[in-house]
């Protein structure tokens, strides 16, 4: 959004130009707007003396305005200038027309209406209406011929220019204020877009220099020891190196910045530091004409200090500078506080990431530990499972090697087939066991749940086949899921091992294994008719190290690890159990 300048004149130059036009019209009005004006002019008359006085005052004030720096053209100065010119014009009207003249009423009406109108474009409408009103009032008591007299007609352009000048004063004042507010808004957007402190601090220095019209800016922040350190500053020989920044530290209450941090109040210093009684005994490192020092606060906590100084610019900071600085510093404090909180959040996220990685590593080690425990439980049964085919192999080989063996080639071929089948069975059992016992990094792939169950049963069937009946009702669609097959197999082994322990010694013991497919999940159900689980223990079976087995018979980690694996896969484990009737474990995995 841009502010359009009036006739390409900015600030004080537009004021000087229009004040000069008003002066010319005012002189012309004072010369020819008298009731009994006559030519040639009498330069010794009282009116001429008043013209010289008013012109001198007006030209002198314009001359001073020309040399006043732009930053001094504040709203208060504009209002004072407007009041000053109103008095001068009123004085001129009084000397020419007297207080009884109707021009006074219209003049102040024009001033009032144009100030309310605020915009220069509307001032033409207001002044035009005022001229019509004045013409109407004049014609009530005078003729049209009198209205057309030069001393009367000169009043109309004067009213037009006064109206326009009044609106210019108000407009320029409000435009300056709007520019400052808009600049603050743009700065706030820029500041709050930076979340990292290292990116924010140079931006703060840059915007502070512009807004406060300072020569040097330094920002000091608190370190972990609650000492102030130089975080950012205007590039200067003594602020160039990072080493200097690290060593530039001061305690709260030390030097000017430390005292401001201690008081938590802003300080304006005009002139040399030695002349300020608040900081007597503190030496200044360089010649400073004026300083603004602000504490950077987050609620009641001190974050640091912002110092703005003028060393080359000899114009001291004024009340207007302080007003904008108050707003700007509050934005700076919020931006630094946000950056600090963001930095703390980043550190906490980093700590959480490390903790999560450590937890994942621990969980992986726990899974491996529980797997090794399961392998220990499987080892005896696998040895028994291997013993039967190996006995057959050894017997047949001995028979083939002995002289008592038949010489029939066909019989020998049949015997060798049996040897091969038994050896393949041994190889398959060992392969499944080795595959299960290996360390596999977590990796999800599209896997058949039914196949994982079949491989699992190959490892545990030796336990079940003589004592426990296994009933399988596997879904014919052979559902595929993206899972880690080795982790899911470990879950199945843990549940089947627990079922075996619950069914040991029971007549007609059985385990039913069932898979079903719903619209959004796959259910794997293990149901036994064992001893069941008490209601008080059901709430604890997934707790790490909880076990009802004898010492040395279990780690208490099997179901806890299984629960973690299923949860990591986005699934759930449900348990239904009654003491004396058996247990049902339902594993639900998202389809």
Q: Are 503 and 509 in contact (CB under 8 A)?
A: yes
pLDDT in tens, 99-134: 445 555 555 555 555 554 455 556 666 666 667 766
Q: Indicate the CATH number for domain 188-346.
A: 3.30.450.40
pLDDT in tens, 7-51: 444 556 767 777 777 777 677 666 665 555 454 555 567 777 777
The top-level CATH class assigned to 440-591 is alpha beta
Q: In this structure, what token pair is assigned to residue 357?
A: 């990685």
Reduced DSSP (H G I as helix, E B as strand, rest coil) percent helix, strand, coil of the chain, to 5: 60, 15, 25
Structural domain boundaries of the chain?
12-185, 188-346, 440-591
Mean pLDDT rounded to a whole number for the chain:
73
Give the pTM: 0.45
Beta strands in 465-551 (DSSP E): 469-473, 480-483, 510-517, 521-528
The terminus-to-terminus CA distance of the chain in angstroms comes to 55
Q: Are 342 and 196 in contact (CB under 8 A)?
A: yes
pLDDT at 553: 59
How far apart (Å, rounded) are the C-alpha atoms in residues 591 and 517? 8
Q: In this structure, what token pair is assigned to residue 257?
A: 């910045």
Confidence bin at 190 (pLDDT 50/70/90): confident
Quickly count: other Cβ atoms within 10 Å of residue 65's Cβ. Answer: 17
Checking DSSP bridges between strand 216-222 and strand 228-233, what pairing results, if any? antiparallel
Higher pLDDT, 584 or 227: 584
pLDDT in tens, 256-302: 888 888 888 888 887 766 667 676 666 665 677 788 888 888 876 88
């Amino acid at each position: 959004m841009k502010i359009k300048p009036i006739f390409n004149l900015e600030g004080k130059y537009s004021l000087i130009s229009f004040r000069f036009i008003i002066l010319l019209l005012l002189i012309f009005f004072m010369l020819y707007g008298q009731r009994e004006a006559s030519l040639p002019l009498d330069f010794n008359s009282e009116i001429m003396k008043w013209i010289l006085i008013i012109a001198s005052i007006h030209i002198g004030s314009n001359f001073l305005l020309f040399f006043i720096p732009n930053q001094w053209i504040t709203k208060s100065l504009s209002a004072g200038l407007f009041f000053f010119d109103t008095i001068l014009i009123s004085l001129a009207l009084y000397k020419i027309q007297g207080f009884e003249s109707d021009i006074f009423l219209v003049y102040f009406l024009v001033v009032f209406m144009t100030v309310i109108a605020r915009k220069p474009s509307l001032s033409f409408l207001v002044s035009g209406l005022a001229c019509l009103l004045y013409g109407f009032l004049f014609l009530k008591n005078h003729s049209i011929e009198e209205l057309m007299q030069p001393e009367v007609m000169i009043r109309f352009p004067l009213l037009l220019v006064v109206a326009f000048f009044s609106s210019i004063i108000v407009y320029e004042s409000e435009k300056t204020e709007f520019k400052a507010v808009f600049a603050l808004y743009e700065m706030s957007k820029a500041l709050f877009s930076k979340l990292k402190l290292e990116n924010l601090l140079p931006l703060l220095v840059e915007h502070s220099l512009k807004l406060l019209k300072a020569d040097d800016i330094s920002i000091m922040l608190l370190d972990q020891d609650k000492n102030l350190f130089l975080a950012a500053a205007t590039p200067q020989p003594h602020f160039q190196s990072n080493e200097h920044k690290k060593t530039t530290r001061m305690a709260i209450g030390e030097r000017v910045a430390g005292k401001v941090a201690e008081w938590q109040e802003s300080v304006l210093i005009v002139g040399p530091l030695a002349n300020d009684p608040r900081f007597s005994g503190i030496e200044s490192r360089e010649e400073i004409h004026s300083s603004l020092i602000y504490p950077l606060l987050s609620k009641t906590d001190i974050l640091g200090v912002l110092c703005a100084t003028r060393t080359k610019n000899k114009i001291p900071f004024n009340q207007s500078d302080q007003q904008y600085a108050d707003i700007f510093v509050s934005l700076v404090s919020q931006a630094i506080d946000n950056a600090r909180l963001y930095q703390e959040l980043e550190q906490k996220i980093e700590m959480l990431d490390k903790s999560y990685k450590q937890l994942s590593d621990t969980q992986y080690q726990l899974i491996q530990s529980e797997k090794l425990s399961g392998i220990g439980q499987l080892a005896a049964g696998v040895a028994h499972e291997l013993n039967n085919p190996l006995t057959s192999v050894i017997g047949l080989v001995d028979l083939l090697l002995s002289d008592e063996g038949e010489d029939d080639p066909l019989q020998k071929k049949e015997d060798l087939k049996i040897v091969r089948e038994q050896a393949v069975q041994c190889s398959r059992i060992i392969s499944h066991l080795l595959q299960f016992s290996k360390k596999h990094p977590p990796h999800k792939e599209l896997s058949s749940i039914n196949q994982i169950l079949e491989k699992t049963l190959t490892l545990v069937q030796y336990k079940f086949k003589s004592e426990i009946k296994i009933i399988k009702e596997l879904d014919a669609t052979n559902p595929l899921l993206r899972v880690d097959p080795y982790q899911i197999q470990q879950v199945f082994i843990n549940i089947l091992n627990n079922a075996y322990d619950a069914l040991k010694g029971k007549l007609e013991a059985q385990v039913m294994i069932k898979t079903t497919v719903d619209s959004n999940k796959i259910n794997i159900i293990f149901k036994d008719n064992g001893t069941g689980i008490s209601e008080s223990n059901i709430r604890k079976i997934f707790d790490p190290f909880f076990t009802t087995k004898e010492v040395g018979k279990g780690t208490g980690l099997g179901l806890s690890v299984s629960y973690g694996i299923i949860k990591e896969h986005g699934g759930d484990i449900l348990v239904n159990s009654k003491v004396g009737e058996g247990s049902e474990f339902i594993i639900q995995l998202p389809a």
